[in-house]
Amino acid sequence: MALPETAVIGAGISGLTAAKMLADYGVPYVCFESSDRIGGNWAFGNPNGHSSAYRSLHIDTSKHQLSFRDYPMPEEFPDFPHHTQIKQYLDGYAEAFDLERNIEFRNGVTHAKRLDDGGWELATETGQSRRFDLLVVANGHHWDPRYADFPGEFTGESMHAHHYIDPQTPFDFTDKRILVVGLGNSAADIAVELSSKALGNNVTLSTRSGAWIVPKYIAGRPADKYYKTSPYIPLSWQRKFAQTFQPLTAGRPEMFGLPTPNHKFFEAHPTQSVELPLRLGSGDVIPKPNVKRLDGATVHFDDGTSSDFDIIIYATGYNITFPFFDESFISAPDNRIDLYKRMFKPGIDDLIFAGFAQATPTLFPFVEAQARLIGAYAVGRYRLPSVAEMNEVIVADMQKYTGHMLDRPRHTQQLDYFLYEHDMRAREIPAGAQRAQRHGPPTWAGVGSDSDRTELTAGAL
């Protein structure tokens, strides 16, 4: 089987792991990166605007859960590395496996068109038109800010957490009345940082759904060392166990003045913070429910109270966006996109998505698990099931991973890494290998025989 000429869009962690596995299998590929550096979201100050990192950011998952299997995180790193250390780790990963030689920097993909007989025509920032047999989309999903839509108009400064850098950038955050909207990890970090009495601010934190706050340490060890979902115990039992013991380790949000969450623990993404409960308990951060309406400098809340503010920071998540696809071809309205194993759009066999999940506890090993399948698929050792079977599995997997979650754009891509990795390793990749043995490997435009392409199009599995 001839190997497909492959294009990878993006050189963040998803693109890098996919590229590494393609190289391991000897698949010819080019990685297109709009920036002048690797790292995507973890490249602080990324010139392409795709980094949401702020100056003080430390990752919320411990290094013990972060490491790639084939490239361990340095032992001397702290439990929760700073973003500069994550970037250093990714730079070392790229250097160890000589990945930059196949990356075209400052040459992002501006348009991707699928050809009638399969394969892709890519237009790039340098004005070129390039053709490929297989396309891997790894452009990330934490770079297109999503804002809350409140009635009324605010006359102060408004911004998204994506653009927050530090207490001096992009505004002078001193002696200000600041409202942070949201209660995810970024909202907690920014509220904590700006509520330091040294800055002279009055900081308010508003949340629509509430959130369960979990500690970063339990009994002196990173809390996520105790977290691992089992595929052999019913998930509802495991969630019930966690829901029972969570208040014993972190308390209930109401104890710190936060609204009661409108969901049980693990029915929405929890917030990891050591400092936010202290800031709330110290009166440095004022908790409020959802915003009801905006009126000039005044913000009215659902509890009937109101306050005046100078700045609103929206820590309200991100849109999943594919600017290089025609919207009528592929898009993700309300962050919903139906993908088989979070990777394949049924009926488009020469397109793979990598990294599009809100993986618990972290994205790093998740994308490495996906990369194993990408490599096997590219060399013909894995074959997809029929379109009908893929659609059935998509529905079943969505129920499995998100059926118990709040119906919010943030949770459409929620996923438990441990269950996913077990499914890929123990079932999906072996099953795909068996399909390839029975029916032949997948074929790609221009590299397979006409009869092979006819069989693939018919989905004769």
**What is the domain partition of the chain in residue ranges?**
6-144+318-458, 148-314
Give the tokens for residue 417.
């890494």
Longest dimension (CA), the chain: 72
53 three-state secondary structure: coil
| Mean pLDDT of the region 446-459 | 36
Local confidence band at 2 (pLDDT 50, 70, 90 cut-offs): confident
Over 50: is that where the pLDDT of 449 sits?
no
DSSP, collapsed to helix, strand or coil, labels residue 29 as strand
Q: What pLDDT, on the 0 to 100 scale, is given for residue 1? A: 64
H runs (alpha helix) in 52-167: 63-66, 83-96
Q: Which of 93, 124, 119, 147 is nearest to 31 (CA)?
A: 124
Q: Which residues contact 351 (CB under 8 A, 6 or more apart)?
A: 114, 120, 134, 135, 137, 344, 345
In percent, how much of the chain has pLDDT > 90? 78
The tokens for 54 are 């702020």
Helix axes 13-24, 83-96, angle to 10 degrees: 20
- Per-residue pLDDT, averaged over 362-371, amounts to 94
pLDDT for the residue numbered 245: 82
Query: At the top level of CATH, which class does the domain 6-144+318-458 belong to?
Result: alpha beta
The whole-number pLDDT of residue 455 equals: 32
Residue in the block written with tokens 């979990």: 214
Amino acid (1-letter code) at residue 84? T
State how beta strands 129-132 and 120-124 pair.
antiparallel
Mean pLDDT, the chain, rounded, equals 92
Contacts (Cβ under 8 Å, ≥6 apart) of 20: 70, 93, 97, 99, 371
Whether cis (ω within 30° of 0) applies to the bond prior to 170 is: yes
Q: Which amino acid is at 376?
A: A
Residue 454 pLDDT more than 70?
Answer: no
Distance (Å, whole) CA 265 – CA 245: 10
Hey, do 6-144+318-458 and 148-314 end up sharing a CATH topology, with the first three levels equal? yes
Q: Provide CATH code, domain 148-314.
A: 3.50.50.60
pLDDT tens profile 394-436: 999 999 998 887 777 777 888 999 999 999 999 999 999 999 9
